[in-house]
Amino acid sequence: VVLVVDFGAQYAQLIARRVREARVYSEIVPSTMPVAEMLARNPKAIILSGGPSSVYEEGAPRIDRALFEAGVPVFGMCYGFQLMATTLGGTVDNTGSREYGRTPLHVTRSGSTLFEGTPDEQSVWMSHGDACSAAPEGFAVTASTDVVPVAAFENDEKKLYGVQYHPEVVHSTHGQQILEHFLYRGAGIKPSWTTGNVIDEQVAAIREQVGDKRAICGLSGGVDSAVAAALVQRAIGSQLTCVYVDHGLMRKGETEQVEKDFVAATGVQLKVVDAQERFLNALAGVTDPEEKRKIIGREFIRVFEQAQAEIIAEASGDQPVEFLVQGTLYPDVVESGGGTGTANIKSHHNVGGLPEDLEFKLIEPLRKLFKDEVRMVGQELGLPEEIVQRQPFPGPGLGIRIVGEVTKERLDLLREADAIAREELTAAGLDREIWQCPVVLLADVRSVGVQGDGRTYGHPIVLRPVSSEDAMTADWTRMPYDVLARISTRITNEVKDVNRVVLDVTSKPPGTIEWE
Ligand code: XMP
């Protein structure tokens, strides 16, 4: 394992992902973990992440010098770089000169372990206020910028490396190469980790854990629960029953996809509960977004509990349902303070929210994986492309994409508009570029239009295409006008009561991705 020491902000997750993209397994640990504990895990290398602090701040996170003396290769990035510099006797000045964003980097030792084979001038992503002016003894300076004399250094003998910038972000043009140079050349690690290993490992572990007991899994139609279920199905076959609650808030074709394609691909036993009426009744007259969410979550739990009672009854008592499968992902685990094996890990709720007091043991086969890795696992398990490559869709579904009261008629209308938008985006090959594209019905707004020869007074549909890495921040996607035009023409022509299509051009922050 390669350990990524997390000094705050979002950097550690991105670094861990990049390491795995280099086919080396990595995990994140908090910077407060004692060095002895890190070393006890026998890491092949350690990476110190960036973070929001300045090494000069009182109470800024530190690292025990012992980390650099254990013979384990270490790579410091940004804050990790400065920490390495100060800890080992180099000089970091609080110069007040800041560098932020895309910055030209001058490689001064092109034959160095990290930079070999990369251009002498490259573009890197900087974000710092302090600058290293002298490398620690025994270190060679390998790069500089116009502002920072020491922007990278290395001590090949001790296997210690550092860069002032963020090689993990895409704006650092040779970042991945430099990270791989550290892993393969610096630390001598062979790239061998694949998601295929994960399947074999998990199948064996789940068989062992479950024995001859039974498990259930709530399917949401999303990627995570589908892949988790398929993995568990591979391990324990008919001992697993999946429950899919059709709350009527899904998009066009999604329920059918789960009922037919997912079952065909996995052979899973599926119980579909048609609860459309129930959800519509509960949502009648409600317009407040938070209240909608609460109602949907609550109803979901009730329906799920009922289904579960039926499954348990059908099992006739000899093999009780003891396990609940959840599609918890690694970012959920890290963000809730987990990943260390010691922290109290909350169970993340994938769908509407499952009850906290469910008396089940959890099976979470994806809890060490990032989203893109989950997709790869799904692909290897033979799940249909439409499920594996599905864009994120909120648990409360279209219920929070109708601004105003949720009714059957409005849901049908929004489903049509959404299906058109999705079809055109796919046809234009934009599915990968666009993280997700909520299609929102402003049911409480009307505007005047002219269609045919008559005046109309219809609703607007909002298109909200966003580009993002992790949904924490997002930017609106600059998508081609002709695609927008096709979507607009088709929606206004084909969807009754819609006479206007508008484009949301707000980044996140300040706007969230969803409208409610
Ligand atoms: P926002 O709107 O907060 O959304 O920018 C960030 C990401 O989360 C999804 N989302 C949800 N997912 N239950 C979910 O499972 C929810 O209640 C929910 N609300 C938002 C949203 O689609 C986006 O991907």
pLDDT score for 414: 98
* Higher local confidence (pLDDT), 424 or 302: 424
Q: Which residue is closest in CA terms to ligand 1's atom 10?
A: 394
* Higher local confidence (pLDDT), 221 or 202: 202
Bridge-based pairing state of the strands 361-363 and 269-274: unpaired
Active-site choice (27, 78, 132, 254):
78
Instruction: State yes or no: is 128 an active-site residue.
Output: no
Q: How far is the CA of 195 from the centre of ligand 1 (A)?
A: 26
pLDDT score for 488: 98
CA distance 388 to 384: 6
Distances 176 to 114, 142, 312, 370 between C-alpha atoms, Å = 11, 17, 50, 17
Residue 457 has pLDDT above 90, yes or no: yes
What residue type is assigned to position 460 of the chain?
Answer: P
CATH entry, 195-388, from 3.30.70.240, 1.10.10.10, 3.90.380.10, 3.40.50.620: 3.40.50.620
Evaluate whether 465 touches 437 at the Cβ level (below 8 Å).
Answer: yes
141 three-state secondary structure: strand
Q: What is the DSSP letter of 131?
A: E
Domain 2-186 has CATH 3.40.50.880: yes
461 three-state secondary structure: strand
Residue 478 has pLDDT above 80, yes or no: yes
If phi over 0 gives left and psi between -120 and 50 gives alpha, with beta otherwise, what is residue 78?
left
> Residues lining ligand 1, judged by CB closer than 6 Å?
293, 392, 394-396, 436, 471, 508, 512-514
* Higher local confidence (pLDDT), 279 or 360: 279
pLDDT score for 317: 62
As a 3-state breakdown, the chain gives helix, strand, coil percent values, each rounded to 5, of 35, 20, 40
Q: What are the sequence ranges of the domains in the chain?
A: 2-186, 195-388, 407-503
Nearest CA-CA partner of 330 in 342, 322, 319, 338: 338
Binding-site members for ATP are 220-226
Q: What is the mean pLDDT of residues 15-19?
A: 95
Query: Peptide bond preceding 509: is omega within 30 degrees of 0, i.e. cis?
Result: yes
Q: How far is the CA of 472 from the centre of ligand 1 (A)?
A: 10
Binding-site members are 220-226
Give this prediction's pTM.
0.82
Active-site choice (128, 154, 166, 217):
166
158-172, 309-323, 334-348, 399-413: segment of lowest average pLDDT: 334-348
Domains 195-388 and 407-503 share a fold: no
Q: Which residues pair with 442 in a beta bridge?
A: 403
Q: Which residue is closest in CA terms to ligand 1's atom 11?
A: 394
pLDDT score for 470: 75
pLDDT score for 351: 39
Protein fold of 407-503: GMP Synthetase; Chain A, domain 3 (3.30.300)
Instruction: State yes or no: is 168 an active-site residue.
Output: yes
103-117, 256-270, 285-299, 326-340: segment of lowest average pLDDT: 326-340
Query: Peptide bond preceding 119: is omega within 30 degrees of 0, i.e. cis?
Result: no
* CA 509 remoteness from chain centre: 17
CB proximity list for 162: less than 8 A, separation 6 or greater: 75, 76, 77, 80, 81, 84, 85, 152, 153, 154
Tokens 């706007």 sit on residue: 511
Q: What is the mean pLDDT of residues 423-452?
A: 95
User: pLDDT digits over 282-323, tens only?
Assistant: 999 999 999 999 999 889 888 988 888 888 787 666 677 889
Instruction: State yes or no: is 166 an active-site residue.
Output: yes
Reading the block at residue 134, the tokens are 């002298």
* Structure confidence at residue 462 as a pLDDT band (50, 70, 90): very high
Q: What is the DSSP letter of 31?
A: T
Instruction: Give the number of the atom of ligand 1 that is nearest the alpha carbon of residue 512.
Output: 5
328 three-state secondary structure: coil
Reading the block at residue 336, the tokens are 């809730």
Tokens 């589908």 sit on residue: 226
CA distance 139 to 116: 17
* Higher local confidence (pLDDT), 509 or 407: 407
Question: How much is the mean pLDDT over the chain?
Answer: 91
Instruction: Give the number of the atom of ligand 1 that is nearest the alpha carbon of residue 436.
Output: 24
Evaluate whether 119 touches 100 at the Cβ level (below 8 Å).
Answer: no
Q: What is the mean pLDDT of residues 94-118?
A: 89
* Structure confidence at residue 32 as a pLDDT band (50, 70, 90): very high
User: pLDDT digits over 317-372, tens only?
Assistant: 667 788 999 998 998 888 766 544 333 323 334 433 455 566 788 899 999 999 88
